[in-house]
């Protein structure tokens, strides 16, 4: 099926998940997440040379070079606990990124998802938690919607996706 036919089929069905394979990038918009700043390793980790952070290439629940599997949806406290006990690629100091760190991997020149998919494959067009609480309401925390890269506040008891990070 050609790309246009697939796109029309997805629109007809109204399925957001169909769009994961069809990131729309706009050449006239500056790339905000340069591929050349990342080093991808065979162990499922990625180093961002600009921020000096190491990321899990896949969101929680996904594995392999294509980040296959079923994404884990966790509440904010579950995400923090998952990070605390995570031992991935020989490291035990994983954590949920703060909002600034999470924003650093957003590529605002792309939508659906707004991330470089060659670095972070199979990123879902959904919300990913940050560790940043909302200062004015202790019930809320910040998250980013990776279909467009915008950040939002929402209740900490709602389950969303998680991508872990660590300092190098």
Q: 15 lies in which domain range?
A: 3-167
In percent, how much of the chain has pLDDT > 70? 80
Which residues make beta-bridge pairs with 128?
144, 161
Question: Is the Cβ–Cβ distance between 154 and 127 less than 8 Å?
Answer: yes
Question: What pTM, to 2 d.p., does this model score?
Answer: 0.82
pLDDT of residue 5: 36
**Domains held by the chain: number:** 1
Residue 2 vs residue 68, higher pLDDT: 68
Identify which of 11, 50, 34, 17 has the alpha carbon closest to the alpha carbon of residue 125.
Answer: 17
Confidence at 28, pLDDT banded by 50, 70, 90: low
10 Å Cβ neighbour count for 75?
Answer: 16
Which are the contacts of 74, defined by CB distance < 8 A and separation ≥ 6?
Answer: 60, 82, 129, 159, 160, 161, 162
pLDDT of residue 36: 78
pLDDT of residue 152: 95
Mean pLDDT on 76-94: 98
């Amino acid at each position: 099926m050609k790309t246009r036919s697939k796109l029309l089929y997805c629109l007809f069905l109204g399925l957001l998940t169909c769009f994961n394979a069809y990131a729309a990038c706009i050449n006239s918009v500056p790339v905000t997440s340069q591929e050349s700043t990342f080093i991808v390793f065979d162990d499922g980790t990625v180093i961002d040379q600009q921020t000096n952070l190491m990321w899990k290439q896949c969101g929680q629940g996904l594995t392999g070079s294509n980040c296959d599997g079923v994404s884990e949806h966790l509440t904010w406290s579950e995400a923090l606990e998952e990070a605390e006990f995570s031992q991935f690629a020989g490291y035990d100091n994983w954590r949920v990124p703060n909002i600034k760190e999470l924003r650093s991997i957003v590529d605002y020149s792309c939508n659906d998802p707004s991330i470089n998919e060659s670095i972070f494959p199979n990123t879902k067009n959904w919300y990913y938690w940050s560790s940043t609480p909302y200062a004015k309401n202790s019930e809320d925390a910040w998250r980013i919607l990776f279909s467009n890269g915008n950040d939002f506040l929402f209740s900490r008891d709602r389950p969303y996706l998680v991508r872990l990070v660590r300092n190098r």
